[in-house]
Amino acid sequence: MKFFSTLAAVFIMTCAGASAQATGPFNAIEELFAAMSAYNYHHMSQYGTKDFQYLINGKIETMDDLIRETKKTEGVMARRNYFSIIDSRNHGNSVSLSFWYRSDFESADGEKMSLAWLESAVVVKDGHDWKIEMLHSTHLPHVNDIPRQVVMEEYVGDGAFKVAASGVLE
């Protein structure tokens, strides 16, 4: 029975992930961060191009680097993601995006903290999917550095990540 439950969850994840990518360029960003929160490294890699660049703290990193950093908090921190799009510019098969990003963390012992970033990204069309080619993160010294009038919206993923995060697929 557990085998069929796992198989069903994998099927749902595969179908839901495919439809989520087809919804628009910013959804690739949301799904990448939802996959990070769910510690779903396979899904993280699906939302980046083969030559994905992550520019952070004066370094040029890859998807493998981002996954390696995310793994350091697995089992230690729960994470919730909030976004507010500043600008979106369509260039045909690519879109440049700028957005505010806040992440609320809670440790296993209940300690809470929030961090914020000003982000930019280039997302490219890959067949029917949108994938992140470049993500640039500027960490803000204080979460209150996000302008007060900005409305942040939480994104939790397409539901399949909830299955992965609950341990069903582990």
- How would you class 121 by CB atoms within 10 Å of its CB: exposed for 0-12, middle for 13-18, buried for 19 or more? buried
Q: Is 147 helix (H, G, I), strand (E, B) or coil?
A: coil
Backbone angles phi, psi at 160, to 5 degrees: -65, -35
pTM of the model: 0.79
Predicted local confidence at residue 58, as pLDDT: 93
Question: What per-residue confidence (pLDDT) applies to 64?
Answer: 98
pLDDT of residue 159: 41
Looking at residue 168, its pLDDT comes to: 29
Rounded to whole angstroms, the Cα distance separating 161 from 36 reads 10
| DSSP state for residue 167 in the 8-state scheme | T
pLDDT of amino acid 11: 33
What is the residue-level pLDDT of the chain in tens, covering all 170 positions?
A: 443 333 233 333 333 343 334 479 999 999 999 999 999 999 999 999 999 999 998 999 999 999 999 999 999 999 999 999 999 999 999 999 999 999 999 999 999 999 999 999 999 999 999 999 999 999 999 999 999 999 999 998 764 333 323 332 22
The predicted structure's pLDDT at residue 149:
94
Position 139 scores a pLDDT of 96
**Which letter, b or e, does each residue of 38-48 get, where b requires 16 or more Cβ atoms within 10 Å of its Cβ?**
bbbbebbbbbb
Output the DSSP codes for 81-138: EEEEEEEEEE-SSEEEEEEEEEEEEEETTS-EEEEEEEEEEEEEEETTEEEEEEEEEE
Terminus-to-terminus CA distance in the chain, angstroms?
16
The span from the CA of 5 to the CA of 8, in Å, is 5
The predicted structure's pLDDT at residue 156: 84
CATH of domain 2-165: 3.10.450.50
Domain regions of the chain by residue span: 2-165
